[in-house]
Amino acid sequence: MKIIIFPFLATLISCFLSSGVYGYTKSEISSWCSQTPHPESCEYFLVAGNQNSGPVTQKPDFIKALLKITLDRAKHAESNTKGLGTKCRNKLEKAAWEDCIELYDNTVERLNMTVDPRKKCSQYEMQTWLSTALTNLETCRAGFEELGVGGYLLPLMKNNVSALISNTLAMNKGGSPPETYPNGFPSWVKPGDRKLLQSSSPGSQANVVVAQDGSGNYKTVGEAVAAAGKRSGSGRYVIYVKAGSYNENIEIGTKLKNIMLVGDGIGKTIITGSKSVGGAVVGDGFIGRGITFRNTAGPQNHQAVALRSGSDLSVFYQCSFEGYQDTLYVHSDRQFYRECDIYGTVDFIFGNAAVVLQNCNIYARKPPNRTNTVTAQGRTDPNQNTGISIHNCRVTAASDLKGVGGVKTYLGRPWKQYSRTVFMKSNLDSIIDPAGWMPWSGNFALDTLYYGEYLNTGPGSSTANRVKWKGYRVITSSTEAARFTVGNFIAGGSWLPSTNVPFTSGL
């Protein structure tokens, strides 16, 4: 059956699209959308989905309209993805699909945070949460591809949300981090929390105690975390984990905010597992102190994450992360690591957070294939405000690598197109190969990455024979280096003082 549109109806539809009944004219849309990386998606969805967002006369109006339609499409994609569960054919596909559900849920939450009328969202924070939203969708897609499963599911999940987020990132870029919050610390921090990180007796200030011998409130960390989900209010909740080895896969989900996990120190309180991901922290405002996170899968078992973190404004202080390949997954959002130990072989600090590691010890272990890469940063969009900044750290050999010949150790390799990593004022041991950095595959990302070194010391710090890639640079300007400090890169001056963790804001 043919569908006939009468001439007067066609004229009416044309008037609707051009007269501003949707809040702005089609010519306005075309003009603004032409400035984005994906103008076709921009025009299509703004015309089809706008519901009187108001006239677009200024750039903020356009960003507001983009955010509205992006959130709408993300909710639609989340609903569609949830409906695909019955199509999973095996456990691997089911696991990848479940990860996607969690990632879409977090994406919608992050996008909601950019439009919440009850909270003022700065340009800088908007860029952070948009960066996380895009990382989530990339992680969902990659989960199926890297597992080699569910190829038939990916076309069913295909949507334009990533393109819409990328458009918004491009239009919103340029915001500066806030210097301080209005009252000196974020709303989720209580003044009484200030001394928790420095306390010599964390048990006395804890909400609950975990002890294997039964002397606490719970015998497992998982039980204590589950109880935290039932607490009233959203203030800081402190779980003190007494010395012992806890063989658990801990999950601190997105709804569990402001959790603090305190142990008796590195090598004393140990949370260990042998799955591909030993533990995951997603709830915002997480603080970890004095705990070893260990994955015991071993060097031959490929990916063996000791901890995955996607917690915004999170702190890890005097913790240890022990694994081989992919030890520490700094997945997304703003993270800070101070006086921590990280052990691994291949890509053992990886992900797409905006993260600073400061005063940490980074230990390369003996690899099965004679090659180590310290970092693999995963920025997929040039406007994401993400990257790995390693400041005033020490990169050296773990005990099993000392004296072993024939092993090459590199500072990093580009996992994604716009990979961004800097080493600043760090001590690089002789294990670092003179080339410094290693390709991922052929010429992939060598022109678009950003790899920098600034005033490093030690026998492995010479830049005389470093790679000649377009994206690599020896940073000589303190102004350029300052972009990657705690104060500028993760806005640390606005939230770290409240935790009382020691940090250096500048260079």
Mean pLDDT across 297-317: 87
List every span in the chain annotated with CATH 1.20.140.40: 26-172
pLDDT recorded at residue 489: 97
Nearest-Å Rg of the Cα atoms of the chain is 24
- Give the tens place of pLDDT for each residue, 72-86: 999 999 999 999 999
In this structure, of 181-190, 240-249, 450-459, the range with the lowest mean pLDDT score is 181-190
Letter for the amino acid at 174? G
List every span in the chain annotated with CATH 2.160.20.10: 191-499
pLDDT band at 49 (very low <50, low <70, confident <90, very high): low
Distance (Å, whole) CA 471 – CA 447: 5
Query: What's the CATH number of domain 26-172, 3.40.50.620, 2.40.30.10, 1.20.140.40, 1.20.140.10?
Result: 1.20.140.40
Homologous superfamily assigned to 191-499: Single-stranded right-handed beta-helix, Pectin lyase-like (2.160.20.10)
Mean pLDDT across 205-214: 94
In this structure, of 121-130, 419-428, 459-468, 470-479, the range with the lowest mean pLDDT score is 121-130
Most confident segment among 20-29, 173-182, 233-242, 349-358? 349-358
DSSP string, 336-368: EEES-EEEESEEEEEESSEEEEES-EEEE---T
Residue 295: half-sphere exposure toward Cβ, Cα within 13 Å: 33
Is the confidence at residue 332, as pLDDT, over 60?
Answer: yes
In this structure, of 134-148, 151-165, 188-202, 375-389, the range with the lowest mean pLDDT score is 188-202
Cβ-in-10-Å burial (0-12, 13-18, 19+) of 360 comes to buried
Give the 3-state secondary structure of residue 278: coil
Is the confidence at residue 2, as pLDDT, over 70?
Answer: no
pLDDT recorded at residue 301: 61
pLDDT recorded at residue 12: 36
Mean pLDDT across 124-149: 91
Distances (CA, A) of 55 to 24, 128, 170, 457, 498: 5, 27, 21, 55, 41
Distance (Å, whole) CA 335 – CA 309: 8
DSSP 437: B
pLDDT recorded at residue 182: 40
pLDDT band at 1 (very low <50, low <70, confident <90, very high): very low
pLDDT band at 203 (very low <50, low <70, confident <90, very high): low
* pLDDT greater at residue 335 or residue 203: 335
Distance (Å, whole) CA 138 – CA 255: 22
pLDDT recorded at residue 204: 73
pLDDT band at 143 (very low <50, low <70, confident <90, very high): confident
pLDDT recorded at residue 111: 96
To the nearest 10°, report the CA torsion of 191, 193, 196, 201. Answer: 90
pLDDT recorded at residue 5: 38
Q: Is 284:291 a contact under the CB 8 Å cutoff? A: no
- Give the tens place of pLDDT for each residue, 260-270: 999 999 999 99
pLDDT band at 51 (very low <50, low <70, confident <90, very high): very low
The residues assigned a catalytic role are 347
* pLDDT greater at residue 453 or residue 5: 453
* pLDDT greater at residue 378 or residue 96: 378
pLDDT recorded at residue 232: 80
DSSP string, 243-260: SEEEE--EEE-TT--SEE
- Give the tens place of pLDDT for each residue, 170-197: 999 866 665 544 434 444 444 444 455 5
Model confidence, pTM: 0.90
- Give the tens place of pLDDT for each residue, 436-449: 999 999 999 999 99
Across the chain, mean pLDDT equals 88
- Give the tens place of pLDDT for each residue, 12-43: 334 333 334 345 567 778 889 999 999 999 99
In this structure, of 118-127, 151-160, 365-374, the range with the lowest mean pLDDT score is 151-160
pLDDT recorded at residue 498: 85
* pLDDT greater at residue 217 or residue 185: 217
pLDDT band at 435 (very low <50, low <70, confident <90, very high): very high
